[in-house]
A and B are shown apart, each in its own frame.
Chain A
Amino acid sequence: MEMLYRAVKWITVLVWKDLLLDYRNPMSVTTQLIFSIGAGVLAGVIYRSSIWPPESLIPATLSIVLVFQAIFASYNSFLREAESRTVEGLRLLPVGPEIVYISKFIYSIANIIIFTYLFQLSILFFTWPVRISITHVFIWILLASLYLGGVSSLSSAMMIYSRTRGTLAPMLILVLSIPFFQSSTEPINILAQGYMPQPGWHIPITTLGLGFLFTSTILAKYVLE
């Protein structure tokens, strides 16, 4: 219990620091905000004009926006530490690489969820009333963020000593995201067509996300030590 309390305290401090850094230097989050709202407005306009059928537009735009948010989140994660030469500070901490990694994961997942929700809300603003179940779409985004938060944090951690991290991290995120989108977009396709997915649709996505988090946390020990 004592250990859990200490872990929560360390993670809180690490997340608080990232939050404060974004508050003091909001360039990156402003870019994310503009991207989310801009993409949402654009998708909403296309949706209303019926150029593209919504059943294919919604899954496609959501997937693209999620990947972009994961890329943005990776820049606010270990890559930012690499740019500011504070990675060594993290590696010297006695809290352990797993704690550092989980704190970055939490920050990344929060980042992805908030800005993808904003994107979705921007679409809704232009397309209301819509046929699809918003609650289910939001749950799908939440679960997709679990996987993509792990992908974003791991890719960011793996690239801290690479000189070409600015290019390689997005490529890695893209490659690691493909298995997820190949296997987990069916519920969103069904929702986009105005139907409800089968009960328990969220179980495989959750398992995939948690599995990736577990694996990447173990790998982080080797990447960061």
Chain B
Amino acid sequence: MTSPLAAVSGVWKRYDSRWVLRGVSLSIGEGDRVFILGSNGSGKTTLLGIMAGLIQPTRGSVSYSCGPLKRCVGYSGHYPLLYEDLTVEENIRYYSILYGVDPGRVMGSSLWESLSLDNVRGLRVSQLSYGWRKRVDIARATLHSPQVLLLDEPFTGLDEDASKSLAKLLLDLSRSGVGIVMTSPRPDREYVELATRMYNLQGGVLGNAV
């Protein structure tokens, strides 16, 4: 059996006196598409933040077998990590150079095409709707070809066509071996159809979804 790409081992997280996560363990293998369902404030974003290395767990650990965390993981949070006063192209160019990726390759990729980002290439992010910002942010999160992709509510704000394109894209990525973790407060069709495993995060405990 090959070792998982990512292993979350007994992660606990406390904010002040409130335990948000209670001993969460999870392993992500190649091609896995994991969906974590949980109500607002259930700790989904905290779990993804810990997996992305943005939040320190109170107890427990996260390990990756696919290389250094920042090269191995792609993260798209609830708020797109884009600069509003820069254009889409400038944002992608900026992140590409810092990740050591050729910006031309990113903007000529199938991902770029499938998300129809050429239509908004020259527009400032501040001029885009939330759905378009989300698309650009997913392009940002995947530009360095991560082995593990962490997506916080990736389908939120997307129209039908964009949702279909994103679902296809995530399917293609997982077929190429990328492990994907998605979270949402609702068990929407896109997540359920796409997921190979589903979990329910409730009261800080991760359980199998029915």
Query: Is B a genuine binding partner of A?
Result: yes
Chain A contacts of B83 at CB under 8 A? Answer: 17, 21, 84, 86
Shortest beta-carbon distance from A90 to chain B in Å: 9
List which A121-177 residues lie within 8 A (CB) of chain B: none
The 7 residue pairs across chains A and B that have the minimum distance between CB atoms? A89-B81, A24-B85, A94-B70, A85-B79, A13-B97, A25-B85, A93-B98
Please, how many angstroms separate the alpha-carbon atoms of A92 and B95 in the complex? 10
Q: If the complex has contacts A21-B85, A24-B86, A93-B98, are A88 and B54 also in contact, measured as CB distance less than 8 A?
A: yes
Residues of B within 8 A of A48 (CB): none
Between A and B, 6 residue pairs with Cβ closer than 8 Å are A9-B97, A25-B85, A86-B83, A88-B77, A93-B99, A94-B98
CB-defined contacts of A1 to chain B, threshold 8 Å: none
Selected from A14, A17, A84, A95, the residue in CB contact (under 8 A) with B84 is A84
Residues of chain A touching chain B, judged by Cβ–Cβ distance below 8 Å, are 9-10, 13-14, 17, 20-21, 24-25, 84-86, 88-89, 91-95
| B52, closest chain A residue (CB) | A92
Chain A interface mostly: helix
User: Contact: B68 with A94, CB < 8 Å?
Assistant: yes
CB neighbours of A95 from chain B (8 A): 98
Interface residues of B in 132-167 (CB under 8 A from A): 144
Contact with A along B36-80 (1 / 0, CB 8 A): 000000000000000011100000000000001011010101010
The residue in chain B whose Cβ has the minimal distance to the Cβ of A24 is B85
Distance from B99 Cβ to chain A, minimum over Cβ atoms (Å): 6
B30 beta carbon closer than 8 Å to chain A: no
Contact between B54 and A91, CB atoms less than 8 A apart = yes
Q: Which residues from B are CB-within-8-Å of A21?
A: 83, 85-86
User: Which of B82-111 touch A at CB < 8 Å?
Assistant: 82-86, 90, 94-95, 97-100
Query: From A91, which residue of chain B is reached at the shortest CB distance?
Result: B54
Q: Give Cα distance in the complex from A88 to B52, angstroms.
A: 10
Checking A13, A25, A84, A85 against B94 with a beta-carbon cut-off of 8 angstroms, the contacting residue is A13
Please name all residues of chain A whose beta carbon is closer than 8 Å to the beta carbon of B98 when the two chains form the complex.
Answer: 10, 13-14, 93-95
A21 CA / B73 CA spacing, docked (Å): 27
Complex CA gap A14/B99 in Å reads 12
Given contacts A91-B54, A94-B98, 15 further A-B contacts (CB under 8 A): A10-B98, A13-B97, A14-B98, A17-B86, A20-B86, A24-B86, A84-B83, A84-B84, A88-B81, A89-B82, A92-B52, A92-B54, A92-B73, A93-B70, A94-B68
Q: Whole-angstrom distance from the CB of A116 to the nearest CB of chain B?
A: 26
Assembled-state Cα–Cα distance A10/B68 (Å): 19
A86–B77 CA distance with the chains assembled, in angstroms: 11
CB contacts (< 8 Å) of B70 on chain A: these are: 92-94
Closest beta carbon of chain B to A40's beta carbon, Å:
29
Taken together as a complex, chains A and B put the C-alpha atoms of A95 and B77 apart, in Å, by: 20
Q: Which residue of B lies closest to A225 (CB)?
A: B53
A28 CB, min distance to chain B CBs, angstroms: 12
A93 to B100, CA, bound (A): 10
